[in-house]
Amino acid sequence: MTDLASNSAPRQTTERIAASLPRRYARDSRFRYYGLVAIGLALAFLVLLFVSIVSKGYSAFFQTEIRLLIEFDEDRLDPNGTRDPSVLAGADYGGLVKSSLRGLFPEAESRRDRKSLNRLMSSGAGFVLRDMVTNDPSLIGTAQEVWLPAAADIDMLIKGFIDRSKPASERRVNDKQIAWVDALQERDAIERHFNTRFFSAGDSREPELAGIWGAVVGSFYTLLVTILLAFPLGVMTAIYLEEFAPTNRWTDLIEVNINNLAAVPSIVFGLLGLAVFLNFFGLPRSAPLVGGMVLALMTLPTIIIAGRAALKAVPPSIREAALGVGASRLQVVTHHVLPLAMPGILTGAIIGTAQALGESAPLLMIGMVAFIVDVPTGPIDPATVLPVQIYLWADSPERAFVERTSAGIMVLIAFLVAMNLIAVVLRKKFERRW
Amino acid sequence: MAALEMTTPDAAGNRPPKFSTKNVNVFYGEKQALFDVELDIVENQVTSLIGPSGCGKSTYLRCLNRMNDVVEECRVDGSILLDGHNIYDRSVDVVQLRAEVGMVFQKPNPFPKSIFDNVAYGPRIHGLTSNRAELVELVESSLIRAGLYEEVKDRLDNPGTSLSGGQQQRLCIARAIAVQPEVILMDEPCSALDPIATARIEELIDELRENFTIIIVTHSMQQAARVSQRTAFFHLGKLVEVGDTEMIFTTPQDQRTQDYITGRFG
Ligand SMILES: Nc1ncnc2c1ncn2[C@@H]1O[C@H](COP(=O)(O)OP(=O)(O)OP(=O)(O)O)[C@@H](O)[C@H]1O
Ligand SMILES: [Mg+2]
């Protein structure tokens, strides 16, 4: 103390500060360096993840198709000539495909060979023809060149996922099929085309016919219900708790419980949904409506907590200013506090719904894991959602589902990015200069 | 009947007080912040409240427009009469009260909206004007009376937060005036301002005195002496002395007042 009081004190202090400076700056730059390393690592993993998903999945966006000359034989499709839609829909289109193939490769005579030959084509090829004819019955009696989907195994062969050098017993296509495919390739009658079916169809047992659209629509309806329920409820709860509720033991209890709820494993919400929504209220199984309700329960605490934090961050001086000119408490909230808190509330809501989008466990409990072929047309049709669809495909043994799994993940990420973009646009709209 | 008597001039021709407070005790939870404050505020005068930090000036001021209502653990006892009516009465609407008793805060707190909307907010929520032209006129006259109009007339659409500190405070005064209150409470309105901006606001207060009753909390003796006609000295939650400003600053009755204004504590 006497030291400090003496005349030399200022100089000593400067010297001490000067001596400590290099150490402090070194610490600064070290910290910056650690930060860069952390960001670099995170980015590297992200890139790795994306590269692996895209490299595995992009091939699913293309599908091998074979060009066949199809004779729409009136005798076989509509023997009575009535053009009755039910007759047209029930005709044997698979037969047309088979005879066209036989015309291409007449050398396949034995039963076994014919069976292998027919296996070049997807079982969905007949459906394509059926749709063509029912849309345009005038095709009957003509002959058309049509691109039809090849079987998944042939698709894999063309995409190079089947090793030709392996002995025939160890691969899923035999030597004759390979020879036929090569012959088709020579004639340019087998090509990879953009896979529109993947983006327009529901699930299927046949990989080449399976599409993601059913799950996209299911996820859309589910999230719509989630947002419509959780956002207004969550925001109103946050406003009430933050702006109106008296602080007493009850509100403390509610607060603790909301925080606990945010930490409850999601599958528990699924069990709750099963017990309450399905068994007690008798709502339909596998429906996006119920899925959305369950996910809304799960998302609510996130929105409430984020909403309260955003409301708390609005400076009290704004509230006082509004009260001071005679605004009612509700006017203070709706005119001033809520608009200022909106960007923060939206961030919380988007984090919550993004979580809900990736959630599958609670949906398993309410039957959204079922195999559903039809694209849902409303929130009470049976449906599945993107993560569940991805899980189902990942669980399938066929090689062709591997690429579809990765492609499904890409669609899920695209969905997420689209959602975030909407949120960014909304935030920008609400943000004000301070 | 009692209320009626109070609003009419008494025999000596003295005007009745605008605010008349008696036995005001304020508690924050267990802690008592004001003890039996008894103070009358005269109409169309500037009354300044002085006293050391933490003595309860802001607390008293915030009782007058019931701003303490929002502080949850705060309890106010006693009678506070505005024009003879108890403002803590059940029948009194607090929104109505705050429209009659406006407030300007220590830190300028404009809304993050345009200058125009800042001033127009009060008239809008109270429906004071019936059309856009009237509203524009009211906003402009409020800005003129707050001495801000000349500086901002070309940029009424700019955010209020883009103004300088002194301009923001005058904007807040304009916002308070626009509601056409009878009383304006000011809690250290100049503490964040430089001497020039302070001088402007002091001038402004002097002009506003004609139409409004003003109560101002200040830490500056000079300011109290310059702007106010009456001064009240608070100490440790008690009202020690109140009287004409000149008298308080020249011949204080109480030793504590004497010590405070001569700078012996505070
Ligand atoms: N919200 C509150 N909760 C609890 N106690 C409070 C609260 N506001 C004020 N007090 C207490 O009441 C007393 C008076 O405070 P007040 O703000 O009225 O003082 P002041 O005279 O305005 O002081 P300053 O000149 O520093 O502004 C202080 O002791 C303070 O601690
Ligand atoms: Mg104060």
Give dist(CA B164, CA A330) in Å, integer: 30
Question: B149 touching A, CB under 8 A?
Answer: no
Residue A41 lies in a domain: no
Distance of CA A272 to the CA centre of its chain: 24
**Residues A87 and A189 reside in one and the same domain:** yes
**Residues A284 and A218 reside in one and the same domain:** yes
The yes/no answer to whether this complex scores an ipTM above 0.90 is no
**Do residues A315 and B161 make contact, with C-beta atoms less than 8 angstroms apart?**
no
**Residues A228 and A165 reside in one and the same domain:** no
Residue A208 lies in a domain: no
Supply the pLDDT for residue B9.
Answer: 47
**Do residues A94 and A123 make contact, with C-beta atoms less than 8 angstroms apart?**
yes
H helices within A263-399, ranges in order? 266-273, 288-312, 316-324, 329-331, 338-357, 361-365, 386-394
Q: Do A336 and B67 touch (CB under 8 A)?
A: no
Question: A138 touching B, CB under 8 A?
Answer: no
**Do residues A378 and A221 make contact, with C-beta atoms less than 8 angstroms apart?**
yes
Give dist(CA B94, CA B65) in Å, integer: 8
Using one digit for the tens of pLDDT, what is the confidence trace for B43-97?
Answer: 999 999 999 999 999 999 999 999 988 888 899 999 999 988 899 988 889 999 9
Identify the H or E element spanning B35: strand B31-41
Supply the pLDDT for residue B165.
Answer: 87
**Residues A284 and A354 reside in one and the same domain:** yes
Residue A43 lies in a domain: no
Q: Which residue has the tokens 């402007």?
A: B200
Q: Write down the mean pLDDT value for chain B.
A: 88
Which residues constitute the domain of residue A77?
Answer: 63-193
Nearest Cβ partner of B179 from A321, A325, A331?
A325
Confidence of residue A67 (pLDDT cuts 50, 70, 90): very high
Residues 6+ apart with CB under 8 A from B163: B110, B115, B152, B171
**Residues A147 and A229 reside in one and the same domain:** no
- In one letter, which amino acid is A193? H
**Do residues B240 and B70 make contact, with C-beta atoms less than 8 angstroms apart?**
no
Using one digit for the tens of pLDDT, what is the confidence trace for B196-224?
Answer: 888 888 998 998 898 899 999 999 999 99
Closest by CA position to A177, among listed A190, A192, A193, A195: A190
Give the end of a domain, one of A138, A159, A193. Answer: A193
H helices within A143-188, ranges in order? 152-158, 175-186
**Residues A181 and A260 reside in one and the same domain:** no
Confidence of residue B10 (pLDDT cuts 50, 70, 90): very low
**Do residues A220 and A289 make contact, with C-beta atoms less than 8 angstroms apart?**
no
Nearest Cβ partner of B109 from A321, A326, A433?
A321
Give dist(CA A368, CA A184) in Å, integer: 42
Q: Which two tokens stand for residue A288?
A: 């996006």
Give the end of a domain, one of A164, A193, A222. Answer: A193
Supply the pLDDT for residue A6.
Answer: 54
Supply the pLDDT for residue B136.
Answer: 94
Confidence of residue A256 (pLDDT cuts 50, 70, 90): very high
Residue B4 has pLDDT above 70, yes or no: no
- Sheet of A190-194, strand order: A143-149, A62-71, A190-194
Nearest Cβ partner of A324 from B98, B159, B162?
B98
Using one digit for the tens of pLDDT, what is the confidence trace for A318-376?
Answer: 999 999 999 999 999 999 999 999 989 998 898 899 989 999 899 998 888 888 888 88
Asked whether B55 lines ligand 1 (CB < 6 A), one says: yes
Supply the pLDDT for residue B265.
Answer: 65
**Residues A266 and A376 reside in one and the same domain:** yes
Confidence of residue A225 (pLDDT cuts 50, 70, 90): very high
**Residues A132 and A274 reside in one and the same domain:** no
Residue A160 lies in a domain: yes
* Residues of B whose CB is below 8 A from A322: 111, 121
Pocket test for ligand 1, best of B26, B27, B28, B187 (most atoms within 8 A of CB): B28
Question: B119 touching A, CB under 8 A?
Answer: no
Distance set, CA A258 to CA A163, A230, A253, A261, A301 (Å) = 56, 14, 9, 5, 6
Taking the CA of residue B232 and the nearest CA in chain A, the distance in Å comes to 23
Q: List the single residue in B with minimal CA-CA distance to A327.
A: B95
Residue A70 lies in a domain: yes
Supply the pLDDT for residue B11.
Answer: 46
* Residues of B whose CB is below 8 A from A318: 109, 111-112
Residue A45 lies in a domain: no
Give dist(CA B18, CA A424) in Å, integer: 53
Q: Which residue has the tokens 């599945």?
A: A384
Number of domains in chain A: 2
Residue with the larger pLDDT of the pair B62 and B16:
B62
Pocket test for ligand 1, best of B31, B35, B188, B215 (most atoms within 8 A of CB): B31
Give dist(CA B162, CA B7) in Å, integer: 44
Give the residue, by CA position, lying nearest to ligand 1 atom 29: B54
Give the end of a domain, one of A125, A159, A193. Answer: A193
Supply the pLDDT for residue A426.
Answer: 84
Q: In CATH, what number is assigned to the domain containing residue A404?
A: 1.10.3720.10
Q: Do A434 and B175 touch (CB under 8 A)?
A: no
* Residues of A whose CB is below 8 A from B111: 318, 321-322, 336
Confidence of residue B5 (pLDDT cuts 50, 70, 90): very low
**Residues A179 and A219 reside in one and the same domain:** no
Query: A134: CA distance to ligand 1 center in Å?
Result: 84
**Do residues B201 and B194 make contact, with C-beta atoms less than 8 angstroms apart?**
no
**Residues A257 and A359 reside in one and the same domain:** yes
Closest by CA position to B38, among listed B256, B232, B245: B232
Q: Which two tokens stand for residue A117?
A: 């030959």
Query: B103: CA distance to ligand 1 center in Å?
Result: 17
Residue A2 has pLDDT above 60, yes or no: no
Average pLDDT value for residue range A397-415: 92
Supply the pLDDT for residue A434.
Answer: 47
Residue A265 lies in a domain: yes
Of A79-83, A408-412, B78-82, B236-240, give the lowest mean pLDDT range: A79-83
**Residues A148 and A287 reside in one and the same domain:** no
Confidence of residue A432 (pLDDT cuts 50, 70, 90): low
Q: Secondary structure of A341-352 in the HEC alphabet?
A: HHHHHHHHHHHH
**Residues A124 and A227 reside in one and the same domain:** no
Q: Which residue has the tokens 């006129």?
A: B137
Give dist(CA A53, CA B261) in Å, integer: 78
The answer for B237, left when phi > 0, alpha when psi is -120 to 50, beta otherwise, is: left
Residue A231 lies in a domain: yes
